[in-house]
Each structure stands twice: as structure tokens, then as C-alpha cells.
Amino acid sequence: GQVSESQIREMLGLADRARIFDLFEAVMRGDIAAGLAQMAEQYAAGADPVVILQDLLEVTHWLTRLKLAPDAANGPLVPETERIRGGSMASAMSMANLVRAWQILLKGLAETRSAPSPLQAAEMVLIRLAYAADLPSPADVIESLRGSTDSPSPPPDGPKGNAGGPLSANGFTPVLAAVHGTGGKAQAGAALRIEPQAQEVAPGALPSDFTALVGLVADHREPLLAACLDGAVHLVHYEPGRIDFRPAASAPPDLATRLSRLLGEWTGRPWLVSLSRETGQPTLREQRLELEIKRKADAASHPLVQAILAAFPGASIEAVRDLTETAALAADLADPEPASGEDE
């Protein structure tokens, strides 16, 4: 008794390479019926659904390599199927679709490994992959939405340089950051950049407000005290040299005396820190959370963001970022500081 190649594949749960290419091609052109039929045939022949998804990941990686470096197909160890068929498939597919296929398959592989029925889980991965294959690329969607939602006349009092879209009632311009699609359920992250009215404090001056005071505490490497002031203090009155606040139940009993002593050491002048029974303001942490909720609500009411949310079912606004933060990050990336020992 000789053992044939087909018997070895059946024992090891492997799938034929050419059939994997057939399966990938059918799913990526949106023919899910043919894809599910091919999956069922390979499963009936003994192929493991987890291994099939791993093979599809390998095909995706190979096509991506060919897309970036076509000469990779000329390697001496590359099979004929992967050289000829892989080259034609790579040239016909966009990089966006290949990257999206990799993300869906990678996520689906983990789901299939832990699913009670690996075959059903793998079939759902193929369905998501076929659904995503029909979607336009995020760049195309954003460009089309930008063109369809341009405002005919900008607000009269808008700040200069905000030509990327119409302003909301609060005076900030939405800027699209990214759209991520995983598993057929697209998620759109519309990041809004906001130019805040920053209040600068001159070097050596007393903190002009309570937020600056908390920053001063953090700068002096008192993270626990700074966290307490941020999340367990309801400010009643603040002026340089005097603080009245209502402490939360989680605040330590010696908070006022300790804060007064440290501020006196750091600023060189006495500070009167008193406890109050008045309600006071929300904590700084609560104020940030409330502001974040309001920013997301304002963002969601913008026509361009609404168009994106409608184009991608299940999408959500992930973050609203300040212009100053984004500009500082871009400056750091564009002009990094030289490492020690390097010539400037």
C-alpha cells in the first residue's frame, strides 16, 4: 500500500493550494455562494476550517507582497500557481482591499479557533469578507462625501484657514482621521480637531486657575495628589493664594493642610486652603467627561460626519482631538530632536 498525496492532505487537514486560490478569488469578487460551496467541498475532503483560513491569510500576504514587489514572483522556490495566478490577482486588486482582507481574516481566525463550530465560524468569516469586498475604499468614500457636503457659503465669522468643511455652532471644523473596517462591520473614526483657547501662565507666576494648579502639582512629581485634585475635589473658589473646595468622600483627610504646605514651598508665598460645604463645581475629571460627550454630540450633528456614519453601518465617533495636540505631534514627527551624541 502506497499513500497518495490526497490521503496525506486528508490526514493532515490540508487544502489544495490551487483550490485555496479559487476560494479566495470567489470570495473577493463577492460570489459568496461559490465561496461557501468551495469551503464545504474542502471541509468534506478533510480540510480543517482553521487551516483553510490560515491558507487564505498566506494568499493575502503573498498577493500583498506581489503588489509591492512584483519581482518576488521570480524566486526559484515560488510554485507556478503562485507565480502566474498570484501575479494576475495582485495586479487586479487594490492595496486597500488586500489590507482589509488581512484584517478580516486575522480577526476571523481567532474567532474560528475558539468557536464551538469552526466550520460555521469560518463560513461567517467568508461572508464578512465577501461583503467587505463590495465596499468602496475609505479614501473614495471620504472624497465623495467631501464633494457632496461642501457648504456653499462659509459662516461669516469663521477663523481663517478652516477651509476643510463647514463650522459647527461651537466653531470647530471636523477633520476626517481614519475609517477602519473589520469583519464586515465598518467602523468609522471621525476625529475632530478643535482649536482651544489656551491660557498661558508666565514662568514663575502663580497658577492662574485651578487647572494650572493641578498641573503644577503634577510637575512637582506628586501624581497621587494631582489625581486627587483632579477627581475628588469640587472647587468652590479659587484665586492665587486661596482655594476653597468641597472634598469628595474618597479624598484624604489631610488634603487641605498638605496642599497648603506644598504650595507654600513651591511658590514661596503662603496659601490659604479651606474646606467648604457648598456644592461647588464638578471635578475636573467630570468636566472633561462632560466636554467629551458634548464634543462627540456636536460632531455627530455635522453633515459630513452624518454622511460617514450613514455610509458605514455600526460606525462610531472614536475621538475629538485638539488642533494644538495634532500640530505638536506632526511637528515632532517632522523634526525630531537629535539623539545625544549626534551633530545638530
Q: Are residues 104 and 142 in the same domain?
A: no
Query: Strand, coil or helix: what is 275?
Result: strand
CATH of the domain at 105: 1.20.272.10
**Mean model confidence pLDDT for the chain:** 75
Give the pLDDT of residue 316.
77
Statement: residue 180 has pLDDT above 70: no
Q: Are residues 57 and 201 in the same domain?
A: no
Give the pLDDT of residue 73.
77
More confident residue, 43 or 316: 43
Minimal CA–CA distance to 177: which of 55, 16, 71, 305? 305
Q: Are residues 22 and 68 in the same domain?
A: yes
Comparing 73-77, 92-96, 97-101, 248-252, the range with the smallest average pLDDT is 73-77
330 part of a folded domain: no
3-state secondary structure 152-216: CCCCCCCCCCCCCCCCCCCCCEECCCEEEEECCEEEEECCEEECCCCCCCCCCCCCCCHHHHHHH
More confident residue, 5 or 133: 133
In this prediction, residues 136-150 reach a mean pLDDT of 65
Give the pLDDT of residue 148.
59
Residue 52's pLDDT band (cuts 50, 70, 90): very high
Residue 112's pLDDT band (cuts 50, 70, 90): very high
Give the pLDDT of residue 158.
44
State the Cα angle at 244 between 239 and 249, rounded to 5°. Answer: 140
Domain boundary among 110, 133, 156: 133
191 part of a folded domain: no
Rounded CA-CA distance 314/181 in Å is 10
Q: Are residues 79 and 217 in the same domain?
A: no
Rounded CA-CA distance 301/307 in Å is 10
Domain that holds residue 21: 5-133
333 part of a folded domain: no
Q: What's the structural domain count of the chain? A: 2
Q: Are residues 29 and 72 in the same domain?
A: yes
283 part of a folded domain: yes
Convert the pLDDT of each residue in 239-274 to its tens digit. 888 899 998 888 888 888 888 888 888 888 888 888
In this prediction, residues 180-193 reach a mean pLDDT of 43
Whether residue 207 contacts residue 223, with contact meaning beta carbons closer than 8 Å, is answered with: no
More confident residue, 137 or 104: 104
Give the pLDDT of residue 175.
43
In this prediction, residues 125-141 reach a mean pLDDT of 79
178 part of a folded domain: no
Convert the pLDDT of each residue in 158-167 to its tens digit. 444 444 444 4
CATH of the domain at 305: 3.30.300
Q: Are residues 52 and 118 in the same domain?
A: yes
Q: Are residues 25 and 124 in the same domain?
A: yes
Convert the pLDDT of each residue in 295-314 to its tens digit. 888 877 878 777 777 777 77
Q: Are residues 122 and 142 in the same domain?
A: no
Statement: residue 199 has pLDDT above 70: no
Domain boundary among 83, 106, 133: 133
57 part of a folded domain: yes
Q: Are residues 73 and 141 in the same domain?
A: no
Domain boundary among 93, 109, 133: 133
Share of the chain above pLDDT 90, in %: 15
pTM over 0.85: no
Statement: residue 84 has pLDDT above 90: no
Q: Are residues 223 and 94 in the same domain?
A: no
Strands 242-247 and 272-275: parallel
Give the pLDDT of residue 328.
58
Residue 51's identity, in one-letter code, is: V
Q: Are residues 125 and 212 in the same domain?
A: no
Q: Which CA distances in Å does 64 have to 31, 87, 193, 233?
A: 21, 10, 33, 54
185 part of a folded domain: no
Q: Are residues 142 and 281 in the same domain?
A: yes
252 part of a folded domain: yes
Residue 67's pLDDT band (cuts 50, 70, 90): confident
Convert the pLDDT of each residue in 219-234 to its tens digit. 888 888 888 888 888 9
